[in-house]
Structure 1
Amino acid sequence: MNYYYHPNPKESAVLSNEESAHIVKVLRAKNGDEIALMDGKGNSYLAKITEPNPRKCGFEILTKTSKAPKGFRIHIAISPTKNMDRLEWFVEKACEMGIDEISLIQTQRSERKKVNLERLEKKSISAMKQSKNFWKCQINELMDLKSFIANNNHEGQKFAAYVETGREDLLQKKVTPNSDCLILIGPEGDFSPEEVELLNASNFELVSLGANVLRTETAGIAAVHTVNLINQGFKKS
């Protein structure tokens, strides 16, 4: 069964224009048809259509099911790629894999200074529905690296992917299972020496994602996949 997104289905029993149009115009849903909803907060709902309006489809909730969160969080802070399509691809695939939070960081060598958050939000919602993850990824606005570090209160493990020296330990050797992870991914030209000094001073551990030099968006996916693999078989205590 296909899922439709509604952030607060118990407060407002009407779907968005986009979801309503898809259900009523494309799928030809009728009054009384059952649909599945998710709120992006770990809950799914079985609902019944009460008003098949293509602009504001009304529904009635029949049952609710809750999914427990996993025992770890993955937060990737990534420099936006010059090509917006590549950033959108990263968001889509990372959300399919269950990433919890994405921050966009402006570094000295970043080539893009503006991003379309609305498009990224749509990609994250679409990926959440497709993967049946039930937890929506939080996407944060673009912020310069210094401000991000100064305002971040992450209490778990902190890493920064770095390829300049080739002496860094692999990420998979450093990740502690069942622990929250914040991983910084720099631009195509990597972090500058000054930024590396800032990362070291801010208790970020420099790590490698492998022998090959990866594009920014590929590095982000590799980091998410690595943390997920390390946590296979572990549950929240």
Structure 2
Amino acid sequence: MNFYYHPNPEENTTLSQEESAHLVKVLRAKTGDEIAIMDGMGKSYLAKIIEANPRKCSFEVIDIKAAKTKTYRTHIAIAPTKNMDRLEWFVEKSCELGANEISLIQTQRTERKKVNLERLEKKAISAMKQSKNFWKCKINALTKFDSFISNQLNVENKFAAYVETGFEDLLQKKIKPESNVLILIGPEGDFSPEEIDQLKSSNFELVSLGDHVLRTETAGIAAVHTVNLVNQRL
């Protein structure tokens, strides 16, 4: 069964115009049909269509279920790529893999100075529905590197992927299972020497994602997947 997104289906029992149009016009849903809804905050809903209106499809909630809460959170802070398509791909795949939060950071070598948050939000919602992950990934607006780092001083388990020396420990060796982690991914060309010094002084651990030099968006995906693997129960 396909899921539809609604942030507050218990109080507002009408789907958005976009979701209504897809449900009624594309899928030909009718009054009385049952649909599945997720609120992006860990709950899923079974609902019955009251009025199959393609502009504002109304429904009645029949049943509510709460998904199991994860024992860890993954926060990826990444320098947006010059190519917007690559950034959207990263957001989509990271959300499918269960990233909880994505922050966009403007470093000295970041080429893209503006991002379309609305498009990234749509990618996050689409990925949540497709993967049946009942928590919507939070997407934070583009923030300057200095400002972001200064706001993370009290955060534990924070890492920065770095490829310069070749002596950094692998990320999977540093992550503790069932712990919240923050991982920074730099731009093409990596962090500047000044930024590396700032990361060290702010107690970020420099880590490696493997032997190969990865594109920014690929490194972000690898980091999310690594956190998942460390926390996988056999």
> Would you call these one fold, judging by a TM-score over 0.5?
yes
Q: Does the 8 Å CA contact 1:107/1:191 hold for their aligned counterparts?
A: yes
Q: Does the 8 Å CA contact 2:160/2:185 hold for their aligned counterparts?
A: yes
The yes-or-no answer on 1:119 pairing with 2:95 is no
What amino acid does structure 1 have at the position aligned with 2:78? Answer: I
The yes-or-no answer on 1:50 pairing with 2:30 is no
What amino acid does structure 2 have at the position aligned with 1:45? Answer: Y
Q: How does 1:82-121 map to 2 (within 5 A)?
A: 82-121=82-121
Offset at residue 153 of structure 1 (A): 6.0
Offset at residue 151 of structure 1 (A): 2.1
The yes-or-no answer on 1:17 pairing with 2:17 is yes
| Paired position in structure 2 for 1:231 | 231
Structure 1 pair 200–153 and aligned structure 2 pair: CA distance change class (3 A): closer
Q: Greater CA deviation, 147-156 or 31-40?
A: 147-156
Structure 1 pair 100–153 and aligned structure 2 pair: CA distance change class (3 A): farther
| Paired position in structure 2 for 1:208 | 208
Render the CA deviation track for 1:151-187: whole Å, top value 9, x for unaligned. Answer: 2366330000000111111101101001100000000
Q: How does 1:1-237 map to 2 (within 5 A)?
A: 1-152=1-152, 155-233=155-233
Q: Does the 8 Å CA contact 2:153/2:202 hold for their aligned counterparts?
A: no
Give the Cα separation in 2 of the matches to 1:211 and 1:71: 29
Unaligned runs of at least 5 residues, structure 1: none
Render the CA deviation track for 1:15-63: whole Å, top value 9, x for unaligned. Answer: 0000000011011111110000000000000000001110000000000
Q: Does the 8 Å CA contact 1:170/1:208 hold for their aligned counterparts?
A: yes
Give the Cα separation in 1 of the matches to 2:189 and 2:114: 18
Unaligned runs of at least 5 residues, structure 2: none
SS in 1 for 2:178: coil
RMSD between superposed Cα atoms in Å: 1.0
Render the CA deviation track for 1:193-229: whole Å, top value 9, x for unaligned. Answer: 0000000010000000000000000000000000100
SS in 2 for 1:166: coil
- TM-score if structure 1 supplies the norm length? 0.97
Q: Does the 8 Å CA contact 1:156/1:179 hold for their aligned counterparts?
A: no
Give the Cα separation in 2 of the matches to 1:204 and 1:157: 8
Offset at residue 69 of structure 1 (A): 1.4
